[in-house]
Structure 1
Amino acid sequence: MGMWCIVLFMTLTIVGQISSEEECSFHYLLKHLNITNDKERFAMTRPVINWKHPTEVNIGLYPYSIVEVIEKSQMFIAYFWVILDWKNDFISWDPDAFCGINKFLVPRELLWTPDFMILETIEEDKTQKSPYLTITSQGKVTLDEDIRLVSACRMKVHHFPFDTQKCNLTFTSISHTVEQVKFASAINSTRATDLTSSTLREEGDWRFLNMIVFNSSLEEGNLNFSEIVYEMEIKRWPVLYLVNVVLPVVFFLVLDIFSFFIADSRGDKLGFKVTVLLAISVMMLILKDLLPAMSNQSPLIVTFFIVVFAFMLMSLLETILITYLMELDSAAPPRKHRSCCTVASAGGCRKGEPECPSQPNSTEGQSELSVEAGGFESLLFELRSLHKSLGEIPREREREPAYWGRVAKHINRIYLCCYLLSVVVFLVCMYRAWTAESEQ
């Protein structure tokens, strides 16, 4: 009898230990909640006791890598952590009754999950979905996703390459109205900005500025859908574009300015300016591949290229004009000899009329000829006086050698001064316009 009592006591002790160990397992907790057997309650319907009460879904969006921003097609590509949590009214337990278990993982297909979509998505996410959900003793269910998001982003490239872009990511439900599912942000804008700044890997041309979170709604007919919007603001790092695009154009402009010091008589000046103009054309073709085809405002860099191109075109036309004027001198007729007068003429020489060189009289015959010439010159003077009283007909001024060359030099100097002043004013205005957005 005593032996049987000992055996029975040991058996009960072992069974109690086994039962105690079983109560500390996840399997026992899952069996207690009856999740696997009651799919109608846990997986097929929204987990609320009263259907009039909406399910509030908290969404947290945390970007950790910006892959690419494509201006041409206006796309934004990045990796995000998306964390959703909601309350399941049918799940709860006492952690003390299950050895302190307060949360555990269950397969995703065992529980109801809210359907959501991001309105700006233009390409299906092909990353692997998380197979598990986390549930807590208070009935909180958490879904943790890692997604690669390819979204549309309206690019404002007016200040390119000093531009700042704002890309919106809008979460909404495709089948549950606001009376059934309400979306809310898990964190505020300040917290979202701080977390993103600490986790985001900035490896490309873009730098993260801030994150703004706000609620919205979408109306379709008589239906109203809840929305949560994450507005991500990023700024371009402009050094690469300054070195590869803007500075070469400025250097070409400087070369065009120094080309004014090339001798106009040589044909190299015209060829040099044409070469620089063609180089600017090539840079404009490169810029075309960077900017989007559609934009609300013309980019300032396009204005910069067009004005620089216009400067160089005007410089080329001025060089052609100078070359033409220089050619006029080479085609000018030889200089005509001007008349002279003798001192012995009646009334003397007129103003501006040179004196004829005097020649010594060596013979008497020459002396007689000079007397007769004096009488002839006196008559000539009278005729000139009569002509002056009736009004002289203005004669065409005779061109002097290199006259058009001097005109060309004056034009070149005046144009160079105006050119330098215009370039300086233009570059200052462009700098102020480019930096206006960053100052704001």
Structure 2
Amino acid sequence: MNTRHVGVKLWTDTSLHLLAPLAECLPEKPKRSALNQLTRALLRNYNCGVRPVHNWTTPTTVYMDLILQSVLDVVRTAELPSSSHKTEIWTDEFLVWDPEEFDGITEISLSSDAIWIPDVIVSEFVDEGKSPPIPYVYVNSSGSVKNNRPMQVVLACNLQMYAFPFDKQNCSLTFRSWLHSVQEIDLALLRSAEAIANDKRKFMNDGEWELLSIPSHYWKIHHGDKGYAHIQFNVLIRRRPLLYVVGLLIPSIFLMLVDVISFYLPLDSRTRITFKVSILLGYTVFRVNLTDELPATAVSTPLIGVFFVVCMALLMLSLIKSIVVVKLLHHSEKEVKQLSVSACLLDKYASADYDLECSAEEDLLSLNEVQDSPSGLEWLLLELVSLRLGLSQENGESVAQAEWLSLCLRLDCFLFRVYLLVLGLYTSTLLLLWTSWSFA
């Protein structure tokens, strides 16, 4: 028995001695990571449908912050697409741990679907933009949850387009809880209102819009015996008008200057009306092509739209004035004598010539009655008298036409000055308005 026992012992020691190197080569069984243990410990009994407070009468305060990155485009309807960064911070009393028990971990990221998220929405929300989804939030050991994500949305905005393209817009983003009253979810600003209003460090300031400030304020709306917290960020932006001045206003001003210069065309050259009709047609095509560039609003008409309509009306007035003057210029001799004061004076003071013409005609008749076949001298006398009558008649007509042309030129000059006065007053009014808006 003793011999057998000694043999078994020797075999066992030998086996252990041989298996020891093999045991050293085998990998150790991995321990569960501290991060995995912490996540399992926090979410093991967590209910994401319950507001995370131990005392249900304690409200959860959500701290809000907003950093505007860009204004994508203010469309022709009352909508404002914008891109910004939104930050929400609140305390989750069920996500608290001791960092020393988990290898000194003080902050972890958790899935936003696994924990409670406040139902804070934007009241002016119209359409969701193409913002990338961020499915995680950061949680630190004290239970503070930080939800920081980009936000690209289309907002309903009350656009004031009267001063376009020198307009300023005030579009608001109002954050509120959709369901919970202030006794359950309260809102507050993460930074001071002055710091948020003057924060322009991430705004893309090379586009059409210039960011002025983002004032913010907090208020409550009461429905029955409950109050609901609201935080509003007002985005104050100003349009840069250079693109519209170069593309809209300057071409229109050029066409108006060409119309003014066309008044220096000769009144009797018959080309002024054709030239003005061409200008009016060109301006009409220019206005139709720019219809999509102007803002469409049913509340008020932009001043630039009134500008284009008045410019077209002035072109029409210029054309009508030219038509009236040319029509007066081409009246018949009888109508000229009836309408022209100068022609009436000419008839009054040209009676001596008329008597001479009548006496010459009577002499011719008497000569014809006395002799049927005049002699050579008499025939020459008749020809001279006829030639004088013809020259006198042509001279009278040319004098009347010259007087009438002079009167029409005076009328054209008077109407041109009136046209310039109206155009100057209108232009000065627009310049004063737009200058006051651009420097306001």
Mapped pair 1:27 → 2:32: no
Question: Residue 127 of structure 2 aligns to a residue in which SS?
Answer: coil
Distance 1:436 1:280 in 2: 28
The equivalent residue for 2:303 is 300
Deviation of 1:181 after TM superposition, in Å, equals 0.5
The equivalent residue for 1:65 is 70
The equivalent residue for 1:121 is 125
Distance 1:432 1:338 in 2: 57
Pick closer, same or farther for the CA change 1:284–1:330 going to 2, 3 Å.
farther
Runs of at least 5 residues in structure 2 that lack an aligned partner in the other structure:
1-27, 338-345, 357-395
Pick closer, same or farther for the CA change 1:330–1:60 going to 2, 3 Å.
farther
Pick closer, same or farther for the CA change 1:333–1:125 going to 2, 3 Å.
closer
1:168 to 168, 172, 180: 172
State the Cα deviation string for residues 93-150 of structure 1 (Å, max 9, x = none): 3334544322111222221110121111111345342111111122100112222211
Mapped pair 1:189 → 2:196: no
Distance 2:128 2:165 in 1: 30
How do 1:150-169 residues align onto structure 2 when only pairs under 5 Å count? Answer: 150-169=154-173
Question: Residue 419 of structure 2 aligns to a residue in which SS?
Answer: helix
Distance 2:147 2:185 in 1: 16
How do 1:294-373 residues align onto structure 2 when only pairs under 5 Å count? Answer: 294-328=297-331, 338-340=350-352
The equivalent residue for 1:278 is 281
How do 1:126-145 residues align onto structure 2 when only pairs under 5 Å count? Answer: 127-145=131-149
State the Cα deviation string for residues 174-211 of structure 1 (Å, max 9, x = none): 1211211112222233322443x211123431111111
The equivalent residue for 2:21 is none
Pick closer, same or farther for the CA change 1:401–1:138 going to 2, 3 Å.
same
Mapped pair 1:402 → 2:427: no
Higher fraction of helix? 2
Question: Residue 214 of structure 2 aligns to a residue in which SS?
Answer: strand
State the Cα deviation string for residues 345-388 of structure 1 (Å, max 9, x = none): xxxxxxxx99xxxxxxxxxxxxxxxxxxxxxxxxxxxxxxxxxx
The equivalent residue for 1:46 is 51
The equivalent residue for 1:427 is 427
Distance 2:168 2:72 in 1: 17
Aligned-residue sequence identity (percent) comes to: 26
Residue type matched to 1:172 in 2? R
Pick closer, same or farther for the CA change 1:288–1:87 going to 2, 3 Å.
same
1:226 to 220, 226, 229: 229
1:268 to 271, 275, 282: 271
State the Cα deviation string for residues 213-242 of structure 1 (Å, max 9, x = none): 111334455553211111101111111111
Q: CA RMSD in A?
A: 3.1
Residue type matched to 2:239 in 1? R
1:77 to 77, 81, 88: 81
Runs of at least 5 residues in structure 1 that lack an aligned partner in the other structure:
1-17, 342-352, 355-396
Deviation of 1:28 after TM superposition, in Å, equals 3.3
Distance 1:297 1:281 in 2: 23
Residue type matched to 2:45 in 1? D
Instruction: State TM-score, norm by structure 1.
Output: 0.75
Distance 1:287 1:177 in 2: 49
The equivalent residue for 2:17 is none
